[in-house]
Amino acid sequence: MYQPRNNRQIKYHKEEYGDSRKSITAAMLFFTMILVAVSLFIPCCAIAQECHDQQAPYQEESLPFRVVSWNLENLFDTHHDSLKNDHEFLPDALRHWNYSRYKKKLADVARVIAAVGEWTPPALVGLCEVENDTVLRDLTLRSPLKELKYRYVMTDSPDWRGIDVALLYQRDLFKLLSSRSISIPPLGAYRPTRDLLHVSGLLLTGDTLDVFVCHLPSRSGGVKESEPYRLYVAQILRTEVDQILHTRSHPQVIMMGDFNDYPTNRSILKILEAEAPPVITQEPASATGPTGASTVAPSPLKLYHLLARRAKSTNFGSYKYRGEWGLLDHLIVSGTLLNQSSHFFTSEERANVCLLPFLLKDDEKYGDKEPFRTYKGGKYQGGISDHLPVYADFELTYPTN
């Protein structure tokens, strides 16, 4: 290492490489300035963060979330499926079901779904009596409904006529996680029936919503004669729902569709045990206080029928048979969805049958109104369906920051 040996060399070394004492002094001054700046900057940041927290508190936003269930009355295409008995809905059959009638029905169905949603498209739409994937593709992509950008999932059932159930959903409100068909094993001499559709999706709250779309066996052949088949399918449905209620920490279940039974029938009341939601009751006055209001909280493990109480009224229903209105189309929820302190809930006051004027026509035989059917018997009427849609509004609240 180089060592200066005299004053001239020392002076030259300082001029060339700098005085070490001056360098140390400058470095100490520089680091002192940094420490002072940091000590001043950190409290300023804390104050700024505190001001920001005061100006921008935790915020939530609410969105409408309408759920609709509707039997479309034989939404068939015009092509023959060699594996199904769809002959009556072909152009050369007695019903003369042709492409122009098919297109008209698609447009009418699209118009109803948009109208039921009012200003906002329904988040979920359960559909019964749709023939196949072609029909759903035409409805969502080739009808006016394409503007609402629905996606769908559906079953592929062994039903002898070829009809299935489906669920339309809005992707920004319901993120599809899974879907599956629940097949119905054969029962005696009964014909194969529709699968149950189970769909799981993620809500904006971060919770999972489980949806079941159902079309239970029809009443053809007699109500009593066909009832065992509906009870059989209802029991399979109940078993599937129970698995969710007892495994999810926050089970949120919606069951909808055409059950071909009324709320007072055994499939609904005894098998599913779906009853009207609890209501506020008045407690009798006590010696220590006046009469007060109390309510029984809905059980998260029970099922509640949103329209059961209204269905007791006369002239209320989704289907009219021999002049009598009745509720064959149901909206049933788990008790967690009736908790109004939750971020996603509903109530029986938010559920109803849709009575849009163009869904109804004069009932010439029994008086009042009836659903405007596509066919009445074998005669083409040009209407939309023999069922009315049912719907329920949910309140969806989610964090925005």
Read off the pTM: 0.83
Query: For residue 265, which of 202, 330, 201 has the smallest C-alpha distance?
Result: 330
The whole-angstrom separation of Cα 104 and Cα 123 is 24
Residue scoring higher pLDDT (290 or 64): 64
Q: 10 Å Cβ neighbour count for 15?
A: 9
Interval 88-96 mean pLDDT: 93
Q: Binning pLDDT at 50, 70 and 90, where does residue 206 land?
A: very high
Query: For residue 123, which of 394, 400, 353, 388 has the smallest C-alpha distance?
Result: 394
Query: For residue 229, which of 262, 266, 181 has the smallest C-alpha distance?
Result: 266
Two tokens, residue 58: 């935790």
CB contact set of 395 (below 8 Å; sequence gap of 6+): 62, 65, 344, 345, 346
Query: For residue 91, which of 105, 104, 72, 76 has the smallest C-alpha distance?
Result: 76
Q: Binning pLDDT at 50, 70 and 90, where does residue 152 land?
A: very high
Q: Binning pLDDT at 50, 70 and 90, where does residue 40 land?
A: very low
Give CA angle at 289 (288, 291), nearest 5°.
Answer: 140
Q: Binning pLDDT at 50, 70 and 90, where does residue 284 land?
A: low
The whole-angstrom separation of Cα 166 and Cα 214 is 9
Residue indicated by tokens 């919606």: 254
Query: For residue 154, which of 140, 172, 173 has the smallest C-alpha distance?
Result: 140
User: What is the maximum alpha-carbon separation in the chain?
Assistant: 129
Listed range (5-19, 308-322, 351-365) with the worst mean pLDDT: 5-19
- Give the pLDDT score at 17: 44
Two tokens, residue 375: 């066919």
Per-residue b or e along 53-91, where b marks 16 or more CB atoms closer than 10 Å to that residue's CB: eeeeeeeeeeebbbbbbbbbbbbbbbeeeeebebeebbe
The pLDDT tens digits of the residues spanning 321-370 come to 999 999 999 999 999 999 999 999 999 999 999 999 999 999 999 999 99
Helix residue ranges, H only, 171-257: 223-247
The pLDDT tens digits of the residues spanning 257-269 come to 999 999 999 999 9
Two tokens, residue 377: 């018997």
The whole-angstrom separation of Cα 146 and Cα 348 is 31
Residue type, 113: I
